[in-house]
Amino acid sequence: MNTFIESFLELIYPEKNICCMCDIYDETIDDKYICADCERKIKKIIPPYCIKCCKPINYSSSTNLCPDCISFEKFFEESRSPFLYEGIIKKGIYNLKYYNKPYYLRYFGNALLQYMNDNDYNNFDYIIPVPLHPLKLKSRGYNQSELIAKYIAKKLNITFIDGISRIKQTGKQSTKSKEDRRRSLENAFKIKKSKKYHILKNSTILLVDDIYTTGSTANECSKALLDYGISKVYVITIAR
């Protein structure tokens, strides 16, 4: 499967040394997939941030937690994201999801790998993607979170497992309030029914998604994993 994905990306990826964000040709781009000008425009998440969900905080906090993580239980151990969801990162994720440009995962995958290695955020037993509902998967043709998860799993030599099902069609989450998202996503996920997934029990999982907004999706997936017997769940997203 990984070989197929690599071959697929080679076929549809634009000519080498073309920036995936602005389409400019620059011989210095090489395998970064982004030009220097676009790279300078990206806003990275830097400390101080919430130790639970990585939300930037610009105030003194005795707990090092954001108000949301203080008020609402989070079932995952930590969630980390290298970028803020704005500007060209927001545009890139949107293109990845809705404009049939899966080759964007080359840049996002490499950026996540660098971030994970730089922050020693790579000690996991298995890597699992947040799933799409089958109807949305059929419409879109691919799950961007699955592509990213497979990419980093291969590079880190960690076993990829597509172990979660989305059993509830919740509609577009971006149009909903924070509370509506929480309600609509309750019990929306479950572990797939197969004995092969028993290996997940008592393991440490990295859950992969594209964006962390309210955290409801990551939280409900984490709850389903913990209920199944997983020991700890960590989360990584491109942006938040």
Any idea what the CATH number is for the domain that residue 133 is in? 3.40.50.2020
Can you tell me the distance from the alpha carbon of 87 to that of 44, in angstroms, rounded to the nearest whole number? 11
The domain of 130 spans: 43-239
Is 149 within the bounds of a domain? yes
CA distance 134 to 148: 18
Would you place residue 123 in the very low, low, confident or very high pLDDT band (cuts 50, 70, 90)?
very high
For 55-89, the pLDDT digits (tens) are 999 877 778 999 999 999 999 999 999 999 999 99
The answer to whether residue 6 is domain-embedded is no
103, 12 Cβ separation under 8 angstroms? yes
* Residue-wise pLDDT tens digits, 13-55: 556 788 888 888 888 887 788 999 999 999 999 999 999 999 9
Asked whether residue 206 is domain-assigned, the answer is yes
Residue 1 pLDDT exceeds 70: no
Domain presence at residue 8? no
Token pair for residue 82?
């290298």
Q: How far apart are CA 62 and CA 82, in angstroms?
A: 24
pLDDT band at 6; cut points 50, 70, 90: low
- Listed range (56-65, 197-206, 208-217) with the worst mean pLDDT: 56-65
Residue 21 inside a domain? The answer is no
Contact between 201 and 57 under an 8 Å Cβ cutoff? The reply is no
Q: What is the spatial distance between Cα 233 and Cα 152, in angstroms, rounded to a whole number?
A: 17
pLDDT at 207: 98
**pLDDT digit string, tens, across residues 103-120:** 788 889 999 999 999 999
- Flag whether 188 is in a domain: yes
- In total, the chain counts a number of residues equal to 240
In sequence order, which residues have a C-beta less than 8 Å from that of residue 176 and are 6 or more positions away? Answer: 184
Determine the 3-state secondary structure of 235 from DSSP: strand
Predicted pLDDT of residue 228: 96
Task: Share the mean pLDDT of the chain.
Answer: 88
Residue range 164-182: mean pLDDT, rounded: 74
Q: Among 1-15, 139-153, 190-204, which stretch is predicted with the lowest mean pLDDT?
A: 1-15
What's the confidence (pLDDT) of residue 11? 45
For residue 15, what pLDDT is reported?
61
Residue 28 is assigned to a structural domain of this protein: no
**How many distinct structural domains can be found in the chain?**
1
- How far is it, in rounded angstroms, from Cα 233 to Cα 224? 10
What 8-state DSSP symbol labels residue 159? Answer: E
Q: Which residues contact 16 (CB under 8 A, 6 or more apart)?
A: 29, 30
- State the pTM of this model: 0.90
226 confidence band (pLDDT: 50, 70, 90): very high
Is position 24 within any domain? no
Average pLDDT of span 142-159:
94
